[in-house]
Structure 1
């Protein structure tokens, strides 16, 4: 039980510290469209679809392995 809690605490620490280390400060300059600095918001739908498909395939393969 304690090892499980320790793993989750370490994961949380690594994720939170990663955000703090790589966070960017705000800038006054607004980038021009098309210069490679577009936000990820336009691709979130595709990211969600691919994530759901990956989860479905993962659990389908896991269920198939249990049956065999």
Structure 2
């Protein structure tokens, strides 16, 4: 019975991904291939800051793990 619950939980987590990223349909009845795509979102200028913070976090965790070993 416990294996069933683990399997159920795993399948729920994996299959919920499809539901959370699903896009709702158009209610106007027109939506087809002829409709244009929306304008793409611009890349934020703070992306460089995010990359720097990621590199600093990696260096911090590597140094921390070396001190523990």
Structure with bigger gyration radius: 2
Both structures adopt the same fold (TM-score exceeding 0.5): no
Q: TM-score scaled by structure 2? A: 0.42
Q: TM-score scaled by structure 1? A: 0.43
